[in-house]
Chain A
Amino acid sequence: MSEVAGRRHQISLPQWATLPVVVGGFIVMAWIIIGLTVPLWAPYDPTMLAGRRFVPPGAEHWLGTDALGRDVFTRTLYGVRHSLPIAAAVIASAVVIGCTLGAIAGFVGGIVDEAIMRLVDVTLSFPAILLAMAVTAALGPGLANAAIAMIIVWWPIYARLMRAQVLAVREREHVEAAIASGATPSRVLFKHILPLCWSPIIVNATMDFGQVILLAASLSFIGLGAVPPTPEWGQMISDGALHFYRWWIAAGPGIAILTIVLGFNFLGDGLRDYLDPRSP
């Protein structure tokens, strides 16, 4: 009896593949595939103005058409081609900048540490969306500037995380042994410290992916991100708010944001349980 149960256990999934990770991963993969392939099979052109305006959802237009007669369903699918690359670029830049500065702060210490960390403190003193709005407004509206603003908002989080990690790992015996045996500082940092610092960074980056997508959509909704006629979700919801009684215009992009952010949150939540079981 227990033999059978034991054997059944052997074909079970690897340990990280919990339900949230699988569901989240599936949603994210689906959106990535849509983003890559949508031009090949989309029923309409996302910026084509030809159709009738304000057509309610039906067989011809699954999610209806907007004020200019564009197909909402097509535009919703195309939206991921803006959201995902921008989120990826923002996260990647924030991780690189933040981790570099955080590692330097933690490893070098002294006045360098002070300077970097006070900059971090000040940046984190602002509500993220306000700072992003101010920076974007200063640089001028547009997706690229919104992305720069989001990098400015996001890097300190990684700097703080990385510094804490480096400080913790530094104290371990193998690092002290390496220093004692005369390894150069850069070798100690790259060979002995950094490889042990990544798991919280990865978990946070995954969770932040969803938050960056949300913030980018918010900026576009306000009118600081994507400019028309870009099929960007926040921009589309802003359109929908203008034509409030045509509910379908905002329905597609709203559900799109909800699902993709939920996907990343599931993924991050599950990864955290696996990589960093101590946190709540």
Chain B
Amino acid sequence: MLSYIARRLIAMPFLLLGVITVAFLLTHFTTADPLTSIIGERQMNNPAVVAAARERWGLDRSLPEQYVVYLKNLLSGDFGTSFRTRQPVAQDLLVRLPATLELVIAAMIIGTLFGIALGVIAARFQNRAPDNLARLVALFGSSIPVFWLGLVVLFIFSVQLGWLPGPGRIDSRMPAPPFVTGFYTIDTLLDGNWAAFRSVLAQMILPACVLGWTVTGIVSRMVRASMLDVLSQEYILAARAKGAGELRILLHHALRNAMLPTLTILGFSFAYLITGAILTETIFAWPGIGSYAVAAARGLDHPAIIGVTIVGGMAFLISNLVTDITYALVDPRVKIGARAAQ
């Protein structure tokens, strides 16, 4: 088990290097001059800027040498300059990161809670109506284009019913809270501004639900499968024989055990949420990394796209690693297996 974690940790830097290499190749095999992807077309007729960039990125040297320079620049946090915002890409990303994290965390909570509830109900009523309904929900979840779903719920709940506010992170008539963490929920509370806090929460409901919906289905399938596995165990019958009631059996005895295999889904759903966040943020005018990526792609802002791709790849890799390791560490059955093997 330790060797498994060790192997994963050793592989990690190589995978990160691979991610960076792919990004390097992408910048150098664009149809445009690679320089364009660093300083942008508008600067191309400025000889001083062109020369400086050529120098800094080593573009007059051979490809392997360029690669080394590229690596060095990345390691010092230099992702190039977005020619749309005219800011360093790294800075752009840092500023937008809290917004994305806030949305993804909210979506993850909503998505996993609903997913777990749905999975437990589906397992409790296996092959009966609630189970089939849960199956349909899961299939719909992976079939609806999230950008369209966002439009639909905005139109229904904001425009038609007026229950919830439209796009944005905070009511447009309110100023943004003073920057502390970048998380509006936390910053408004620190500011003691309850009206702003309520507005921030209301703003978050629709995008978080839409984004959460994309993982609800997968989570529910995972939970259902592991619940069925657990419910057929003898200790469940033993708990019944002790006189435990249905709800206690499901939540206290079965769900606890079923949650372990479900842990893997968290990393997996994080990947889904990154994908979904890109499109959800665009619909809800959410000033995070996702909408930044889309704007960059629409404007063919290459340094920004590559920057987002590297960061996204790293986030993806790390979340998968963390999930795998927690899973290996937490599961007592892994320990039982080790004990039995001794």
Contact = CB atoms under 8 A, between A and B. Distances in A.
Interface of A: 118, 121-123, 125-131, 133-141, 210-211, 214, 217-218, 221-224, 234, 237, 240-241, 244-245, 247, 250, 253-254, 257-258, 261-262, 265-266, 269, 280
A165 B79 CA distance: 40
A121 B15 contact: yes
B143 A133 contact: no
Interface in B322-338: none
Given A122-B18, A127-B275, A139-B30, A262 B139 contact: yes
Contacts of B305: 133-134, 137
B115 to A, nearest CB: 14
Interface stretch (B86-94, B171-179, B292-300): B292-300
Interface in B288-310: 293-294, 296-298, 300, 302, 305-306, 308-309
Interface residues of B, number: 52
Contacts of A121: 11, 15, 18
Counting chain B CB atoms within 10 Å of each CB, the highest count among A131, A134, A211, A262 belongs to A134
Q: Mostly helix, strand, loop or mixed at chain A's interface?
A: helix
B155 interface: yes
Nearest to B300: A137
Nearest to A122: B18
17 contacts: A122-B15, A125-B316, A127-B275, A129-B279, A130-B308, A130-B309, A133-B293, A133-B305, A134-B305, A134-B306, A136-B297, A137-B305, A211-B142, A218-B279, A245-B159, A254-B148, A254-B151
Interface in B143-184: 143-145, 147-148, 151-152, 154-155, 159
A141 B301 CA distance: 12
A217 B145 contact: yes
Given A122-B19, A139-B30, A218-B145, A266 B313 contact: no
A182 to B, nearest CB: 38
Given A125-B317, A126-B19, A210-B142, 20 more contacts: A122-B15, A122-B19, A122-B21, A126-B312, A127-B275, A134-B26, A134-B305, A134-B308, A135-B26, A138-B29, A138-B302, A210-B143, A214-B145, A218-B147, A237-B151, A250-B151, A254-B151, A261-B143, A269-B139, A280-B222
A127 B271 contact: yes
Q: Mostly helix, strand, loop or mixed at chain B's interface?
A: helix
A217 B144 CA distance: 11
Contacts of A250: 148, 151
Nearest to A152: B22
A139 B25 CA distance: 12
Contacts, number: 144
B145 A223 contact: no
Nearest to A139: B31
A265 B275 CA distance: 19
Nearest to B274: A127
B117 interface: no
Counting chain A CB atoms within 10 Å of each CB, the highest count among B14, B15, B151, B282 belongs to B151
A211 to B, nearest CB: 8
Contacts of B278: 129-130, 133
Contacts of B145: 214, 217-218, 221, 234, 237, 254, 257-258, 261
B91 to A, nearest CB: 20
Given A133-B297, A137-B302, A125 B19 contact: yes
Contacts of B15: 121-122, 125
Of all A-B residue pairs in the complex, the 3 with the closest CB atoms, nearest first, are A122-B18, A254-B148, A261-B143
A11 to B, nearest CB: 25
B274 to A, nearest CB: 5
A41 B327 CA distance: 57
Given A138-B30, A210-B143, A222-B297, A130 B274 contact: yes
